[in-house]
Chain A
């Protein structure tokens, strides 16, 4: 290749301008490597272009320091410059850790408290369900009894002392027992109890079936009482605590005859 012709072609000027294709660039590069005298020509062209373009700048030169700080370098000096920043973020980190830690402890404590509360509530609920199912069983048993066709129902009406009182006796002759529903009776005064009587009418013969000692405590006011008598009527009187041998008729609250 004739070097003079190559230079005269003007390709080196375009090479400096960046107007050649990638392939042409590489060809020029290789040619320069093979012909070192071309490098001087290229450098000279470049120098001229640098001066020409530099003449079209408006301001004074921009100093290198204006970009120096923005260059990412792996120098230890740079680390020392940013050190305060690191400390600060470390400080924030510790504060965050403490806040996080104490929040964690607090929430654990609160969690335990809640767990205890839940356990208590659970227990209460369980006992409620327990008693409810017991009550239900009792109620079901009562319904069963009331529906039994062999059971005789005797309503006891309120008497002079307490006209609004009432009661009901369900008499199961097969098992010789009565179920007394005493819900319609008022609370007995202190020191007094209700006493249940089985009566024969002619002549009037009362037989005590016992006192309702648990009247106040019993919530459904249904009492199961043994009764093997050939009762013709049932009555309830208010008697002194412990009961009486014979009924105090002035304190007869309710009375009802067995319909034959």
Chain B
């Protein structure tokens, strides 16, 4: 397997092939996060594409010191999606929304695509404790800082950290990673 640091370096030097590999690694994840925020298929596709074009155009601004490449692009995606929810267009279509949490999307998802873990994930989130659901929702899907999550859930930061660690631990053991 190619070293990811190398791939990112090539991407920063505007290597399209390297970027295609990174894109394939994270595209589904990014579109999932965007979908969880905007809850509109067409808009999700549009924003996801914009996110990857934006990341390409701002490639030089990424620095490993600031965090993971995935985290960087995840931030771009959440910001783009949240920007959209503040737009007029979104407010007009808001009545069509029916689900709030990633859990709902997963549970109501009818797509049985090639991702072998989708069915397992569905089962997993169904059995996931409410506290895990809300922590994961805020920290990973909504992009809350630990402080914001602590205020939102009325929990000390330390508790957020350890609870989140436990929830992700369950997820990892389920996925075997």
Check if A59 is an interface residue, CB within 8 A of chain B. Answer: yes
Number of contacting residues on B, CB 8 A? 67
In the complex, what residues of B have CB within 8 A of residue A56's CB? 32-33, 35-36, 102, 105-106, 109, 141
Q: Mark A77-106, 1 if CB is under 8 A from B, else 0.
A: 000000000000000000000000000000
A10 contacts B48, CB within 8 Å?
Answer: no
Check if B153 is an interface residue, CB within 8 A of chain A. Answer: no
Label chain B's interface by main secondary structure: helix
Most chain A CB inside 10 Å of its own CB: which residue of B72, B113, B122: B113
Knowing A51-B115, A53-B33 touch, does A16 contact B70 (C-beta < 8 A)? yes
Knowing A46-B70, A62-B48, A71-B53 touch, does A55 contact B109 (C-beta < 8 A)? yes
Q: Mark B132-169, 1 if CB is under 8 A from A, else 0.
A: 00001001110111100100000000001111110010
In the complex, what residues of B have CB within 8 A of residue A17's CB? 71, 74, 139-140, 143, 164
Cα A19 to Cα B175 with chains together (Å): 23
Cα A207 to Cα B86 with chains together (Å): 118
Check if B31 is an interface residue, CB within 8 A of chain A. Answer: yes
Cα A9 to Cα B75 with chains together (Å): 23
A71 contacts B71, CB within 8 Å?
Answer: no
In the complex, what residues of A have CB within 8 A of residue B118's CB? 55
B31 contacts A19, CB within 8 Å?
Answer: no
In the complex, what residues of A have CB within 8 A of residue B41's CB? 58-59
Check if B83 is an interface residue, CB within 8 A of chain A. Answer: no
Would you give the shortest CB distance from B35 to chain A, in whole angstroms?
5
**B58-84 interface (Cβ within 8 A of A):** 64-68, 70-72, 74-75
Can you list 7 A-B contacts with CB-CB less than 8 angstroms, sorted by A residue number? A13-B168, A29-B66, A52-B102, A52-B171, A62-B31, A67-B53, A75-B16
Residues of chain A at the chain B interface (Cβ within 8 Å): 8-11, 13-22, 25-26, 29, 42, 44-62, 64, 66-68, 70-75
